[in-house]
Amino acid sequence: MPDPMSHDLIVIGAGQGGGPLAGTVAEEGHNVALLERKHVGGTCVNEGCTPTKTMIASARVAHLARRAEDYGVDVGDVSVDLETVRRRKRDIVESFRAGSRSSIEEKDTLDLIEGDGQFVDTHTVEVALNDGGTRTLTADRIVINTGTRPVIPPIDGLDEVDHLTSASIMELGAVPDHLLVLGGGYIGLEFGQMFRRFGADVTIIDRGPHILGREDADVAEALQEILREDGIRLLNEASMTAVEEANGTITAHLEGDDIPAQVEGDELLVAAGRRPNADTLNLEAAGVETAERGHVQVDDRLATTADGVYAIGDVTGGPAFTHVSYDDYRILTDHWLHDGDRTTEDRLIAYTLFTDPQLGRVGLTEAQAREHDRDVTVAQMPMTHVARALEVDETRGLMKAVIDSETNQLLGAAILGIEGGEVMSILQTAMMGNVPVNRLQSAPFAHPTLAESLNNLFAGLDLGPAKERVRSGD
């Protein structure tokens, strides 16, 4: 083994938590090694948020162009050049990736090492360098930020079919005639709607009674109706038992009540979940324990079961969102550099599904609140009652809020509608500030904005006097 190089901190994975963490600690004068085996920026920049939302923007323009006549505008026939869409996506990804790399390389005490790392012991990592050779590193603190990868389920014949993942589908140079999508989660729905708008026939195959199994049924069913309006075929409670390919045609064999025995397409996207990239790290050598599905176990300060070893981001099995990974970075730097007390406990998680319309979500669903025996009031309103949505002819979806009946505090919300993520963020801010619904009910929001619709959402509720919730320590 080569002589080890000593650092104050080793970060394994240059994602949206690991890169900023390494940079911030280095800026404080500490000697930091940042390991990355492929591209800096992680899944978000390279295969997730940045490229997908770039392509979704192209799909929305195509959709609006086809609807132009509804607004009194004649644009003629609409076609999509997927090569141009792909080039635009690649350019933006490269720009973001270069920015991430530049911010790393400008730090004098930050060493970017490109290769695959694995533990030798609790404080030692050996790296197989991408350009050949190995390097051995030691540090008192090591952070795992290795993310996740697509799950390929054990379906008969799937290994022999040239299927797509969330990364490879964005490299298609032509629109498929018929795209089959296995999985009705965030990834499957975003790509399914995107490629339908690019011009493909799309069939989504999902095992659950409705898509988005963790959402309230009424919200999920409203989105299903929207997707069906867009011409997407949804097969619920359907299991793919086998798949085969011949002469450019992929045949998926299905089981389920009122489900066709088979469906055919020319491309298959497997969007059946993701698994942690922890299995190649030799975690046993470090004393790092994992959960049943391979996620790294951490406490509320992101410490693993090994002294001095931490984990952040998707690899921990927490909510798999970039902003959560970035907040993990904040927790560690608050603890290490500022003697702070931030933890993951009671962290208010918000997220947005970038279908069109968007689904913005924060806090508890109605089902979750009732499972916790909360006495709740539910406010719900269709987007057809939102003036701004009517003005721009974007009235699909609904708004839903779950309220604690005793305190009038918001417990959670789902905004399925135009700019649903932005409207949801207003409610997230109210929840963070303990603002009771009474205040939102009569707030003088600007007219005519989407925010103003919150007045109407809460208008019919007899809430009684607001009971301000006091934070402990205030």
Q: Which pLDDT value is given to residue 220?
A: 97
Dmax (CA) of the chain: 72
Any idea what the Cα angle at residue 91 is, between residues 87 and 92, rounded to 5°?
A: 120
What CA–CA distance (Å, rounded) separates 52 from 45?
10
Q: Is the pLDDT of residue 391 over 60?
A: yes
- Alpha-carbon Rg for the chain in angstroms: 24
Indicate if the pLDDT at residue 346 is higher than 90. Answer: no
Q: Is the pLDDT of residue 146 over 80?
A: yes
pLDDT at 292: 86
Over residues 411-449, the pLDDT tens digits come to 999 999 999 999 999 999 999 999 999 999 999 999 999
Q: What is the pLDDT of residue 248?
A: 93
Q: Is the pLDDT of residue 4 over 90?
A: no
Domains and CATH numbers, the chain: 5-150+276-338 (3.50.50.60), 158-272 (3.50.50.60), 350-459 (3.30.390.30)
Q: For residue 263, what is the enclosing H or E element?
A: strand 262-265
Q: What positions carry a catalytic annotation?
A: 447
Cα 184 to Cα 166: distance, rounded to the nearest angstrom: 13
pLDDT tens-digit series, residues 356-372: 999 999 999 999 999 99
Would the pLDDT of 471 be above 60? Answer: no
Hey, which residues does 352 pair with through a beta bridge?
360
Mark 353-365 as b/e (b = at least 16 C-beta within 10 Å): bbbbbbbbbbbbb
Neighbours of 276 (CB within 10 A): 24
- For the segment 441-460, the average pLDDT, to the nearest whole number, is 95
Q: Give CA–CA dist 386/396, Å, rounded.
A: 10
pTM: 0.93
| Model confidence at 464: pLDDT above 80 | no
> Could you tell me the pLDDT band of residue 469, with boundaries at 50, 70 and 90?
very low
Average pLDDT over residues 333-358: 95
Q: What is the pLDDT of residues 201-251, one digit of tens each?
A: 999 999 999 999 999 999 999 999 999 999 999 999 999 999 999 999 999
Query: Which residues are CB-contacts of 232 (< 8 A; sequence separation ≥ 6)?
Result: 192, 193, 196, 202, 203, 204
Average pLDDT over residues 1-28: 90
Residue with tokens 């899944």, as numbered in its chain: 43
Chain-wide mean pLDDT for the chain?
A: 94
pLDDT reading at 54 higher than 60: yes
Whether residue 472 has pLDDT greater than 50: no
pLDDT per residue as tens digits for the range 316-340: 998 899 999 999 999 999 999 999 9
Whether the per-residue pLDDT at 460 is higher than 90: the answer is no
